[in-house]
Amino acid sequence: MIQEMGKLYVVATPIGNLADITFRAIETLKSVDLIAAEDTRHVRMLLQHYGISNKIIALHQHNEDKAALEIVEKLRSGLSIALVSDAGTPLISDPGMPVVKAVHEANLTVVPIVGACALIAGLSAAGVAITPFTFEGFTPRTSSARKTFFSERAAISTTWIFYESCHRILDCLQDMATVLPPKRSIVIARELTKLHETIVKLPLAEMVTLVETDTNMQRGEFVVIVEGAAKIDVSDNTITPEQERILKLLLTECSVKKAVDLTVEITGGKKKPIYQEALEFSKSNTVLD
């Protein structure tokens, strides 16, 4: 008799409210042989809530490469396994990619069990353009890296989204305010589906002030949604406010040539007007090439 291969189920779990789980997810978690979890203690509370007592194994960023090989072997032996993260849909800024990739490479089956995702929940209630959008994961940890991160995205005309922690949200917004125009629309969706869920849409300058003055806005888990830059007429031979802001920021750290080249690369603007603006700014501020 040929041994039937097991399947890997990628199971979405609640991001806050425990009621936000599908019947199919519950049935899957009950029926599999093993549950691979980012934090076994955290997931055990969810399982206890729904009367699920299946065996749990650890799968986190420090062991996922090794665990991927072990999971493939277990699937080949006929065991079925559910992959879950601490909250929401696995792999969305969570561990698990090496496992899913290894299962595909072994020609085994991966089954998505859909459900909650903070990214999609926040975007659905943000009131900004959705199609298309870009998800950026978490921002860099240092201020200089964040400013570069924002500069590289300042001229993007589509909506972009990232996650941020309570420890860095204020610093993050303050860094953003040094790069993006003060009137750029920003949405903060914090503590989604939880008791203190808050969704606020404001111009960037006002958002910074709100978070600075309201300590409640510095607590929880954050989805930050940034409205895209206004599209520019590529036939226009003038520099846009967005390009000017990025250029002047770069001129404080780089030579004129380097700042111009980076501004052109970041914004897609024309080199001649950007170079002319750089020369004018250099003369008035004694910036040396």
Closest by CA to 81, choosing from 27, 115, 112, 35, is: 35
Same domain, 99 and 80: yes
* Digit-coded pLDDT (tens) for 17-35: 999 999 999 999 999 999 9
Which pLDDT tens digit goes with each residue over 215-233? 999 999 999 999 998 875 5
Query: Domain for residue 260, yes or no?
Result: yes
Q: Are 160 and 134 in contact (CB under 8 A)?
A: yes
- Residue 232 within a domain: no
Asked, for residue 235, whether it belongs to a domain, the answer is no
Picking from 96, 116, 136, the residue at the C-terminal end of a domain is 116
Per-residue model confidence as pLDDT tens digits over 98-142: 999 999 999 999 999 999 999 999 999 999 999 899 999 999 999
**Domain shared by 221 and 260, yes or no:** no
pLDDT exceeds 80 at position 213: yes
Residues 110, 126, single domain; the answer is no
Task: Based on the fold, state whether residues 23 and 107 are members of the same structural domain.
Answer: yes
CATH for 123: 3.30.950.10
Q: Please tell me the least confidently modeled range out of 154-158, 234-238, 278-282.
A: 234-238
Is residue 231 in some structural domain? no
Q: List C-alpha distances in Å: 16 to 110, 117, 205, 206, 262.
A: 26, 10, 29, 28, 42
Query: Considering its fold, how many domains does the chain have in total?
Result: 3
3-state secondary structure (DSSP) of residue 181: coil
Query: Could you report the per-residue pLDDT of 70-89, keeping only the tens digit for each?
Result: 999 999 999 999 999 999 99
- Residues 21 and 90 reside in one and the same domain: yes
Q: What's the CATH number where 74 sits? A: 3.40.1010.10
Same domain as 258, residue 172? no
Residue 233 within a domain: no
- The helix or strand, by DSSP H or E, that contains position 56, with its residue range, turns out to be strand 55-58
Whether 87 is covered by a domain: the verdict is: yes
Domain span holding position 192: 119-226
The average confidence (pLDDT) of the chain is: 91
Residue 102 lies in a domain: yes
Higher pLDDT, 236 or 165: 165
Q: With cut-offs at 50, 70 and 90, classify the pLDDT of residue 287.
A: very low
- Examine residue 236 and state whether it is found in any structural domain, yes or no: no
Under 8 Å between Cβ of 98 and 63? no
Instruction: Please give the model's pTM, rounded to 2 decimal places.
Output: 0.77
Tell me, yes or no, whether 151 and 219 share the same domain.
Answer: yes
Q: Each residue of 253-274: pLDDT tens digit?
A: 888 888 889 888 888 888 888 8
Same domain, 198 and 159: yes
Given a cut of 70, is residue 235 above it in pLDDT? Answer: no
Same domain (yes/no): 157, 57: no
Domain stop point among 83, 116, 149: 116
